[in-house]
Amino acid sequence: MAIKKDPPEINASSMADIAFLLLVFFLVTTTMDTDFGLARRLPPPLPDEMEEPPEIKQRNVFVVLVNANDQLLVEGEIMDISQLKLAAKEFIANPYGKEELPEKELKEVPFFGNYEISKQVISLQNDNGTSYNMYIQVQNELARAYNELRNELAEEKFGKSYDMLVERDDEERVKAVRKIYPQRISEAEPKDIGGAQ
């Protein structure tokens, strides 16, 4: 006759070893770094038969050129990168309605009523020999000019910065602010003057 006995206990002392093994595996094969970046949208490829692009007035275009030595030429003047943001901001907003800065057009914008929106376009052209770092810095400064203007506008109107509106998913207000300061950075095909590589 079989004696009623409790089943023998399974030895669990190796469980820790197994778990450690798994832990080490995950530590080695995974990374924790989060990726950050400047988000951009490329223009779609050009169709074969090109229509004549609409003429853009000289005063509405902010020309930024970067050469192979990473030097900046902004609207025909040599400029240091630290001044680029201010120059871009003044151009985009044209607060005093100057003659040589972009024209403005009255448009209906939600929350703002009729608002004068400038017809600004920023044209960025670099050389094939421009360093990637310089390119990113220029892109960053231009984006910063737009973001600061948007922040100032949103702060004035809604008492909250634009970043905060974006964070709170306040889509209508974000759209309104964007309509007043649309980010228009056009990249021309690069030239090959400074000698690539």
Partner 1 sequence: MSKFSKKSDKGLPAVSTASLPDIVFMLLFFFMVSTVMREVDLKVKMNQPSATEIKKLENKALVDYIYIGAPVDARKFGTTPRIQLNDAFATVDDIQPYIEQKRAERNEAEVPLITTALKVDKDTKMGIVTEVKQELRKVQALKLTYSTLERIERD
The residue ranges that bind partner 1 (CB under 8 A) are: 12-13, 15-16, 19-20, 22-23, 26-27, 29-32, 34-45, 126-133, 135-137, 139-140, 143-144, 147, 189-190, 192, 196-197
Rounded to a whole number of angstroms, the minimum distance from the CB of residue 163 to partner 1 is 10
Rounded to a whole number of angstroms, the minimum distance from the CB of residue 5 to partner 1 is 23
Contact 127, 192 (CB under 8 A): yes
Q: Which is nearer to partner 1, 86 or 196 (CB)?
A: 196
Rounded to a whole number of angstroms, the minimum distance from the CB of residue 189 to partner 1 is 8
Q: Which is nearer to partner 1, 34 or 58 (CB)?
A: 34
Rounded to a whole number of angstroms, the minimum distance from the CB of residue 135 to partner 1 is 6
Per-residue exposure over 14-29, b if at least 16 CB sit within 10 Å of its own CB, e if not: eeeeeeeeeeeeeeee
Report residue 16 as tokens: 């820790």
Look at residues 95, 89, 102, 177 and name the one whose alpha carbon lies nearest to residue 141: 89
Rounded to a whole number of angstroms, the minimum distance from the CB of residue 50 to partner 1 is 15
Rounded to a whole number of angstroms, the minimum distance from the CB of residue 186 to partner 1 is 14
Q: Which is nearer to partner 1, 36 or 96 (CB)?
A: 36
Integer angstrom CA distances of residue 69 from 129, 131, 140, 173, 177: 8, 8, 19, 42, 37
Per-residue exposure over 104-116, b if at least 16 CB sit within 10 Å of its own CB, e if not: eeeeebeebeebe
Q: Which is nearer to partner 1, 39 or 50 (CB)?
A: 39
d(Cα 176, Cα 171) in Å, to the nearest integer?
9
Q: Which is nearer to partner 1, 59 or 190 (CB)?
A: 190
What is the three-class DSSP state of 197? Answer: coil
Q: Which is nearer to partner 1, 2 or 46 (CB)?
A: 46
Per-residue exposure over 47-57, b if at least 16 CB sit within 10 Å of its own CB, e if not: eeeeeeeeeee
